[in-house]
Structure 1
């Protein structure tokens, strides 16, 4: 009977870890990058509510307000091509897998307003054209982390 209980507990442990573990210490993914940063069908505009709507729609106001996020208004092919451009050390970490765009891209920067508190996340919307720095991983290299704009 003791062996059966042990096997049952071990099976349950494997099941639980298989379900929970992917979210713990998970590596950044292409899907996360696309959800958080890509908005190719939407040209930059001056709607002040753009960030409030997009941050909520893309799930970045669940549980807390994400402080800063940047949306890219370019095609996926153009953003992915940055992974083959100039490699550099990332600005937000010491990793060396970042790449800087060779030309400015259309972006929208969303910043949480100082007085804003969860659950009422309120953002400023700023449209511009800037060079971006992204981290790329895999083979072939694909964007997995938005590092900075310059």
Structure 2
């Protein structure tokens, strides 16, 4: 009986350690990984409200009232980090603006729901980059020339 209890206890400890490890790996998501998860979706297709609802749920960002997905390959978004530095909204000097407009979709949460309205645009985007020239924050978008 004591051996059976020890085996069950050991299995319980093992399961708890595995679960703790899974949670810890989510907490260790880098800024670059978080940026990619929350803002880069190079897929082709109809980027409508239903798609946004699915993406926000799939990417685990339903807590956000507003989000933008950039529909370009990650390498194209990363290339923006090599553009000249510009001032960010909060005063930091690590922002960069795309030379060319990019396909984006803005998603605004419908009040009191987990559903989103979609607005597709072609805009110049501004992102903040880390010292390794990797994107870490979506700053915004605007019309106009580069």
- TM-score above 0.5: yes
* CA deviation profile, 1:23-81 (whole Å, cap 9, x unmatched): 6xx996110001001111x22525331111111110011xxx31111001101111000
Cα distance in 2 for residues equivalent to 1:88 and 1:105 = 18
Give the alignment partner of residue 137 of structure 2, picking from 133, 136, 145. 145
Cα distance in 2 for residues equivalent to 1:148 and 1:101 = 11
Which consecutive unaligned segments of at least 5 residues does structure 1 have?
Answer: 1-18
Q: Which residue of 2 aligns with 1:3?
A: none
Q: Which residue of 2 aligns with 1:124?
A: 117
Q: Which residue of 2 aligns with 1:35?
A: 37
Q: What is the number of residues matched between the two proteins?
A: 119
Q: Which residue of 2 aligns with 1:7?
A: none
Shift in Å, 1:138: 2.6
Cα distance in 2 for residues equivalent to 1:44 and 1:107 = 12
Q: How does 1:51-70 map to 2 (within 5 A)?
A: 51-61=52-62, 65-70=63-68
Kept after mapping to 2: 8 A contact 1:105/1:132: yes
Q: Which residue of 1 aligns with 2:48?
A: 47
Which consecutive unaligned segments of at least 5 residues does structure 2 have?
Answer: 1-22
Kept after mapping to 2: 8 A contact 1:68/1:112: yes
Cα distance in 1 for residues equivalent to 2:79 and 2:66 = 24
Aligned alpha-carbon RMSD (Å): 2.2
Cα distance in 2 for residues equivalent to 1:73 and 1:46 = 9
- Greater helix content: 2
Cα distance in 1 for residues equivalent to 2:48 and 2:134 = 30
**SS of structure 1 residue aligned to 2:46:** coil
Moved over 4 A (4+): none
* CA deviation profile, 1:82-104 (whole Å, cap 9, x unmatched): 0011311112x111100000000
**SS of structure 2 residue aligned to 1:81:** helix
